Amino acid sequence: MLKNILYLPVRLILIIAGFLFVVKLPFLLGFDSERGKAELDFAGFGEAYRYAVKSFIDMVGIRELKQYLAGDGLESYLYTMNILSVSILVVVIAGIVGAVVIMLLPQKIRKPLTGIVNFTATAPELLIIFLLQYLVIYIYKTYHIKLFSLYGFFNASPKFAPIFIASFLPAIFYIQLVVKEFLNEEQQEYVLFARSKGLNYKIIYLKHIYRNIAPYCLIHFRIVVWFLLTNIYVMEYLFSLKGFMLGMFQFSDAGYLIALLMFAVPILLATGLGKVGTFLLNRKEKTTL
């Protein structure tokens, strides 16, 4: 009983201590100008770490966050969360629909298309962002067609471009994961039996296979959310968007941690869906046994 009561507080304290440790880790490496070499500065690291802990205990971060949200911070936070929410919806729809479409295609078309998806999913996110950026600028300069607004200059808050760019690679990645689960499930005996009976392919994939791989789709969803958060941060920096992630850097260490906790809702949602997927998967295995 005592163990269950203390589990969450102890875990929270360890998470905060670990976060502050990682943030202050650069202070551990010092440079001796007289000797001309780098050395470990434990005293400087300890002082920086103690100051970070003290600022957290003194609730400095909460005061900073309140002041920031009282200005333009709340609008920036809602803007970033709006992009994240729509991007999650786009990735889920595009991932599931794209995977189902690929699986329903003839084998000679499915194989090369799967190869293209696998290759694209391994591309660096910065490369994809730069290529999409170059494509928009090239079309505008060549054909004088402005597809959509990219940058956040002059208080502009573009939405279509950030959502499209942020969700492009995660959608491809999610398609790859779902297709992989389809291919694994396709080798099961019940699928071979259904095929031998002449059952329609659409019924096999949509009614039977997808129902069995749905738990895996929920489990993989956690990776997608983290992927999206990374893309949105990179995109806000490259396109000078007035988002919440860039504003977090003006906070102290304590304020930065509290600001990160404001993204806990989508992360907790993804974690909850992952636990639901694990529960359904375990239930399926017990039922099969």
Tell me how far CA of residue 287 lies from CA of 132, 191, 251, in angstroms: 47, 18, 51
**Domain boundaries in the chain?**
2-57, 70-288
Between the ranges 26-35, 62-71, 226-235, where is the mean pLDDT highest? 226-235
Can you read off the two tokens belonging to residue 68?
């920031």
In the CATH scheme, what is the homologous superfamily, with its name and number, of domain 70-288?
Answer: MetI-like (1.10.3720.10)
Nearest to 168 by CA among 140, 138, 127: 127
Query: What is the Cα–Cα distance from 56 to 76, expressed in whole angstroms?
Result: 24
What mean pLDDT comes out for the span 266-286?
A: 76
- Which ranges of 105-157 does DSSP label H, i.e. alpha helix? 107-121, 125-143
Q: Where is pLDDT greater, at 171 or 192? A: 171
pLDDT in tens, 230-274: 888 888 777 777 777 777 767 776 677 777 777 777 877 888 888
DSSP helix, strand, coil percent of the chain (3-state; round to 5):
80, 5, 15
Q: Provide the whole-model pTM.
A: 0.76
Residues forming beta bridges with residue 29, ordered by sequence position: 40
Residue bearing tokens 């492009």:
168
Share of residues in the chain with pLDDT > 90 (%)? 2
Burial 260-279, CB ≥16 within 10 A → b, else e = eeebeebeeebeebbeebee
pLDDT, greater one: 13 or 86: 86
Instruction: Find which of 139-148, 172-181, 182-191, 269-278 is predicted with most confidence, using mean pLDDT.
Output: 172-181
pLDDT at 289: 41
pLDDT band, very low/low/confident/very high, at 205 (cuts 50, 70, 90):
confident
pLDDT digits (tens, 9 = 90+) for 82-110: 888 899 899 989 988 898 888 888 888 88
User: Which residue type occupies 129?
Assistant: I
Question: Could you tell me the pLDDT band of residue 30, with boundaries at 50, 70 and 90?
Answer: low
Structure tokens at 116: 């293209």
